[in-house]
Amino acid sequence: MKKIALPLLLLGMACTAQVKKGKLVWEENFNGKTLDEKVWNFELGNGCPNICGWGNSERETYTKNNHRVENGHLVITAKKEGELYTSTRITTAGKKEFKYGYMEARAKIATGQGIWPAFWMLGGNIGKVSWPAAGEIDILEYVGKDPGMVYTTLHTPSNHAGDALSKKTPFDKIEEGFHTYAINWTKDAITFYVDDKEVYTYAPEIKNAGTWPFNQPFYFIVNMAVGGNFGGPEVDDSIFPQEYVVDYIRVYSN
């Protein structure tokens, strides 16, 4: 989500595939009353001065106040407060990072023009090598201006931003209720799933620093952006507040 591809491919409906999950390695069920800050970090503000607009010309400011933990759910709420759009963005950087496995979240997306909820991952070495050298795995991206579609994307040094490796898949009633969004990540390939249906696989024959930065630990990011190069640019102010609800995040061996 750091910089999203603009020309994305629509390759048809998802296909049914047998999802294999190994041993449960880690889970976050949001059972407490607050986020566990031994696991989660808050990223605050509008990205300035280092990366204003979070690299995408986004319009929101992230706070600690736009979320709550209740009934076993994380609820992130995007609001319009005066001239300001506010939301929450959390990460597991430096606290929970994983190399390979089956990663899955169950979530209910927010909707409306300008909304951009996401569940994604960045390489843990991003502070040393920057983006896109660290790699990026976008397990779920949904933009309200494009209803009925789920975006799954990979960014590598060889293919990033407008040339990212991306799939846009139609799902009937994706805006209704909870759905699962997952990847099966091995040393050879990354396969994306929505509701246990395979939607896209990336398995380059030649794996090097340019094509495969996915040989190191990555951390999770959960956020809801507003506007930006991909989510907007137009934002319908009448839709606010909007809630993005995450039931759980789980990591299995593979």
Cβ neighbours, 10 Å, residue 145: 17
Return the structure tokens found at 126.
Answer: 């991003």
The CATH T-level fold of domain 15-252 is Jelly Rolls (2.60.120)
- CB-based contacts of 164, cutoff 8 Å, min separation 6: 4, 5, 8, 153, 154, 155
Out of 28, 60, 104, 141, which one is annotated catalytic?
141
pLDDT by residue for the chain (254 residues), tens only, comes to 644 433 334 344 455 556 779 999 999 999 999 999 999 999 999 999 999 999 999 999 999 999 999 999 999 999 999 999 999 999 999 999 999 999 999 999 999 999 999 999 999 999 999 999 999 999 999 999 999 999 999 999 999 988 899 999 999 999 999 999 999 999 999 999 999 999 999 999 999 999 999 999 999 999 999 999 999 999 999 999 999 999 999 999 99
- CB-based contacts of 190, cutoff 8 Å, min separation 6: 137, 154, 183, 184, 201, 202, 203, 214
Task: Provide the pLDDT for residue 205.
Answer: 96
The rounded distance, in Å, linking the Cα atoms of 180 and 174 is 10
Phi/psi of residue 72, each to 5°? 75, 20
Task: Provide the pLDDT for residue 132.
Answer: 97
- 3-state class (DSSP) for residue 123: strand
Known catalytic residue: 97? no
Task: Provide the pLDDT for residue 88.
Answer: 98
The rounded distance, in Å, linking the Cα atoms of 176 and 159 is 33
Give, for 127, the enclosing helix (H) or strand (E): helix 126-129
Phi/psi of residue 242, each to 5°? -125, 140
Task: Provide the pLDDT for residue 170.
Answer: 98
Task: Provide the pLDDT for residue 7.
Answer: 36
Task: Provide the pLDDT for residue 12.
Answer: 40
- 3-state class (DSSP) for residue 52: helix
> Could you identify the residue written with the tokens 């091995």?
186
Out of 58, 136, 198, 243, which one is annotated catalytic?
136
Phi/psi of residue 37, each to 5°? -80, 5
Which among 156, 184, 128, 111 is positioned nearest to 2, based on CA atoms? 156
Which among 3, 1, 179 is positioned nearest to 87, based on CA atoms? 1
Give, for 230, the enclosing helix (H) or strand (E): helix 228-231
CB 30 within 8 Å of CB 55: no
Residue 22, amino acid: G
The rounded distance, in Å, linking the Cα atoms of 10 and 146 is 12
Known catalytic residue: 243? no
Residue 49, amino acid: P
CB 225 within 8 Å of CB 1: yes
Q: Whole-model pTM? A: 0.93
